[in-house]
Amino acid sequence: MRDHVETSSGLVLRRWTPGDAAAVRAAFADPLMRGQSSEQVDSVRAAESWIAERGGQWAQGSAFAFAVVEGDGTVLGNVSVGAVNRQHATGWVSYWTTAVARGRGVASEACRTLSQWAFDDAGLFRLELGHRVNNPASCRVARAAGFTVEGLQRQRLAYDGVRHDVELHARLATDPLH
């Protein structure tokens, strides 16, 4: 499986490396990143642990995370397919971007590229993703990346003691490219 993929706009999806720890720590310092990791990523050491966990998942074949970087190496975000189920050829897509990357189409481009990688390289057939219904930006990313709305998962997520509905999207290997 390729661990380095270029998007049509020149962004690069590549495996996370230990050298990305400062960028990961800075990304998780953003208040909008709360809840994007099950563990606090509030130090370089915690960021190194976060990166190492991604590497372990890759080695096990259970999840595949990519740093989304510009040509100069600046980290703009993360895109991953996790919860890989080989029997059913399914996976769960997630993504986040740094503050400077938001609104530039980075997440959509990365998700489109990741999806094709998941179909071609990882041999998956169905990809799913979900977002809180109060997050229209994430919905725009999903739709722009070719994911179709399939339904509403009522009160699926809890943040700070508040339950949130989640809109479920999916993309199949047989879906047309946008």
Q: Is the pTM of this model over 0.85?
A: yes
pLDDT of residue 34: 72
Model confidence pLDDT, tens digit, residues 115-136? 999 999 999 999 999 999 999 9
Sheet holding 75-85, edge to edge: 4-6, 12-15, 64-69, 75-85, 90-97, 126-132, 162-172, 148-159
Residue 48 in this model has a pLDDT that exceeds 70: yes
Residue 149 in this model has a pLDDT that exceeds 80: yes
Going by their DSSP bridges, the two strands 90-97 and 64-69 should be labelled as: unpaired
* Partner residues linked to 79 by β-bridges: 66, 95
pLDDT of residue 178: 63
Identify the band that residue 37 occupies on the pLDDT scale cut at 50, 70 and 90. confident
Mean pLDDT of the chain: 95
Model confidence pLDDT, tens digit, residues 12-26? 999 999 999 999 999
Residue 15 identity: R
Which of 95, 65, 178, 84 is CA-nearest to residue 126? 84
